[in-house]
Structure 1
Amino acid sequence: MSTPAAPPVPTSEWTVAVLAGGLSHERDVSLRSGRRIAAELRDAGATVDEWDTDAALLGRLRATRPDAVVVALHGGEGENGAVQSVLELMGVPFVGTQGRACRRAHDKPSAKAELVRAGIDTPEWVALPHTTFRELGAAAVLDALVARLGLPLMLKPDQGGSALGAQVVRDAAELPSAMVGALAYSETVLVERFVEGVELAVSVVEGDDGPVALPAVEVAPESGVYDYTARYTAGLTRFHCPARLDDAVAQRVAATAVAAHRALGLRDLSRTDAIVDGEGRVWVLEVNVSPGLTETSLLPRAIEAAGRDLGEVFGLLVARAVTRGADVPTPR
């Protein structure tokens, strides 16, 4: 993959604020991502401040006015567009997708509907709030789900990441407990048809020539399910990067990830989670606007497989953010 042309990496005259932590269920993962990217940016020459995302954030932004912000938040306000919208209101340049598009991508049913409109395959799904089960009777609703979508099923919260609350259901008797697990993280559960195949993560990074897909990472968890434990416990998942795909399928996977990035209006970087079934068909599961940057995360693996360096890539993204200047919300 050729390295796209871009402005020079940050110099010591630039101050970059890395936002991490927050109050979501993914706080610990976010802190690990923040520490890593802060260290990489320092090595690339930037002056870096690491900030937790709390009530002091606005005061820090006013007092310090960093040249750019890197959002290393996962889940909650870091991915639903809230923090990005605040940065836009403050006129602070930042790496990543703008607030409104973050919100669209973060809500999984909304994102899947956008993908379908763009002609991108995604497993058939139903999204149901907790009140539906309470008011209409859980047993009857679960029976209707199985009759419509069949088994196995994938259950997950309609918002959030890191596979928290996600579970594969292969027997109808497992549905009630899986539903409770998903509803522990959100008021609405997304139920989709489970697709058997090769699980992939495809990162997209933008340069001056537009979004480019990095080599796909093939994910092979020992348990068979890439859940929270498998994601963040070293040794529980085997990764193959580039993924073990023939050239035609690999090109189709890359094109699909770029198409999903564009369809959702994302910017700078994203990660598309997908399945390639036995017929070589690519099914998009979801698209993440704030990919993890920990030692077990997939974006850093893809960057390394592309022959690039994490600090260099984010240095270029920071340079792009500084060059384009502050985001200004579109007036009504």
Structure 2
Amino acid sequence: MTKLNIGLLYGGRSTEHEVSMRSAESILAVLDKNKYDVVLIHITKDGEWRLAPGSDEIADLNDDESARKLRVQPSGQLEGLDGRMLDVIIPVLHGTFGEDGTVQGLLELAEIPYVGCNVRSSAVCMDKDMTKRLLKLEGIDVADSVLFKHHEKDDVDFTAVEEQLGLPMFVKPVNQGSSVGVSKVTDAGSFREALALAFKYDTKVMVESALAGREIEVSVLGNSDLFVSVPGEIIPDDGFYSYDSKYTDENGAALEIPAKLDETDKQNLQKVALKTFETLDCEGMARVDMFLLEDGRIFVNEVNTFPGFTSISMYPKLLEASGVEYSELVDRLITLALERHELETGLTTDFR
């Protein structure tokens, strides 16, 4: 059997650089060496692509100037691999400059198949404001919010925002993930601090009303034939699923998989997750995060197009609870990437 050359792309320029490396470690551990030859590529915090010295360890090459530097070339070439062609790249990148369509666009231009959502859906899902706008058009409930741009930050009126959204509220950078720069606001003083923090990470900031509901997440897998997982519930210890709760504090949140739900709520959550996935034109995979209110209403919070793949991450754990083991999940994602690439390369680009 001919092995596939798999490029594992990790690190990146975002605030989630370290999370990406943890996710890549987990994926590398389950890649079947009988099926795949793995090429490890580290994108440094400065944006350089560097070739790892081996294929067995996720190396931190941020300060290694001796590591071979790579450049993306047209027609599937990575300059620096001595002519070796990659069959698929897994862009294990979270947040900006990776999960937002930028790397996906680069790989499209280079004609290299890649795992996960396409350029369009990656960009839209990364932008929380654009996500809300599209979901609302399809009748999918989202929390009320107000958007502020960088040039407006000194003119934000807390009283006006409070009258519109109430307290508590959340302040979020529009284009960030993993709760980076997100604050829960309960008064005017914390609002100013939260606004300043959020504008450190993005030029657009969203202020959103807090929803009193259960935090439910659902994993979706597939291109056209979609598989939806059982729902899982996040139960944060401090009432807010923060960065530390997700990645550093093992006791920061309880993950209940599957969530304790009646059959009606379970099916409704799965239906909303599928409709959200399709509305935002997702492919390959995404995790849909929702709030389930006491009256049964479901509000979509956000959509992650390359969710965390660490040992405690919800996306693979939900699929595992639904019958898709971690190693099988990675295999299926690679197959989906190749199927999409084959379909798209069959399209006509020359009109005469």
Q: TM-score, normalised by structure 2?
A: 0.85
Structure 2 residue runs without a partner (length 5+): 50-69
Partner of 2:194: 178
Counterpart Cα distance in 2 of 1:45 and 1:12: 8
2:121 maps to what in 1? Answer: 101
Equivalent in the alignment of 2:12 = 22
Given the alignment, which residue of 334, 340, 344 partners 1:318? 334
36, 39, 43: which one aligns with 1:46: 36
Q: 1:81 to 1:237 in 2, by over 3 A?
A: same
2:83 pairs with 1:67: no
- Residue 12 (structure 1) shift: 5.5
Q: 2:258 aligns with which of 228, 231, 242?
A: 242
Count of aligned positions: 317
User: Compared with structure 1, are the counterparts of its residues 215 and 43 closer, same or farther at alpha carbon in structure 2 (3 Å cutoff)?
Assistant: farther
Inter-partner Cα distance in structure 2 for 1:12 and 1:257 = 37
- The alpha carbon displacement at 1:61 in A equals 2.5
CA distance in 1: counterparts of 2:2 and 2:262, whole angstroms: 44
Residue aligning to 1:3: none
Q: CA deviation at 1:25?
A: 0.5
Q: Please give the secondary structure, in 2, of the residue aligned with 1:242.
A: coil
The equivalent position to 2:105 in structure 1, one of 68, 85, 89, is 85
Aligned 8 A contact 2:3 2:34 in 1: no
Give yes or no for contact 1:146–1:172 (8 Å, CA) kept in 2. no
Which residue does 1:7 correspond to in 2? none
Moved more, 278-287 or 303-312: 303-312
Q: Report deviation, 1:195.
A: 0.3
In the alignment, the residues of structure 1 paired with residue 158 and residue 226 of structure 2 have an alpha-carbon distance, to the nearest angstrom, of: 40
CA apart distance, 1:44 = 7.1
In structure 2, what is the equivalent of residue 261 of structure 1? 277
Shift of 1:307: 2.2
Q: Which has the higher contact order (CA 8 A, sep 6+)?
A: 1
1:224 aligns with: 239
Cα deviation, 1:68-123, whole Å, max 9, x if unaligned, reads 11111001111110100011001111111111221111111011100101111100
Shift of 1:320: 2.5
Alpha-carbon shift at residue 36 of structure 1 (Å): 1.1
Amino acid aligned to 1:84: Q
Q: Deviations over 1:264-312 (max 9, x none)?
A: 1110100111110111111101101111001221112102211221111
- Asked if the contact 1:16/1:48 (under 8 Å) is kept, the reply is yes
Q: In the superposition, relative to structure 1, how do residues 176 and 301 fare at CA in structure 2: closer, same or farther (>3 Å)?
A: same
Which of 135, 153, 161 aligns to 1:145? It is: 161
Please identify which structure carries the higher helix content: 1
Verify the 8 A CA contact 2:222 2:336 in the aligned structure 1. Answer: no
1:190 and 1:106, CA in 2 relative to 1: closer, same or farther beyond 3 A? Answer: same
Kept after mapping to 1: 8 A contact 2:10/2:41: yes
Q: Is the 8 A contact 1:44 1:312 kept in 2?
A: no
Give the 3 Å change call, closer, same or farther, for CA 242–57 of structure 1 in structure 2. farther
**Bigger mean CA offset, 214-223 vs 320-329:** 320-329
- Specify the SS of the correspondent of 1:120: coil
RMSD of Structure 2 on Structure 1 (CA):
2.0
Q: Among 177, 183, 186, which residue is 1:167 paired with?
A: 183
Q: Which one of 248, 251, 268 corresponds to residue 252 of structure 1? A: 268
User: Does 256-265 or 315-324 show the bigger shift?
Assistant: 315-324
Q: Secondary structure at the match of 2:181?
A: coil
SS of residue paired to 2:38: strand
Contact 1:34 1:50 in 2 (8 A): no
1:162-218 CA distance string (max 9 Å, x none): 0001111123332111111211211111111110111011110116x6222111110
Compute the displacement of 1:57 (Å): 4.4
Shift of 1:65: 2.0
Q: Could you tell me the TM-score, scaled by structure 1's length?
A: 0.90
- Partner-residue secondary structure (3-state), 2:7: strand
CA distance in 2, matches of 1:156, 1:281: 23
Correspondence for 2:299 among 271, 277, 283:
283
The amino acid of 2:228's aligned partner reads A
SS in 2 for 1:176: helix
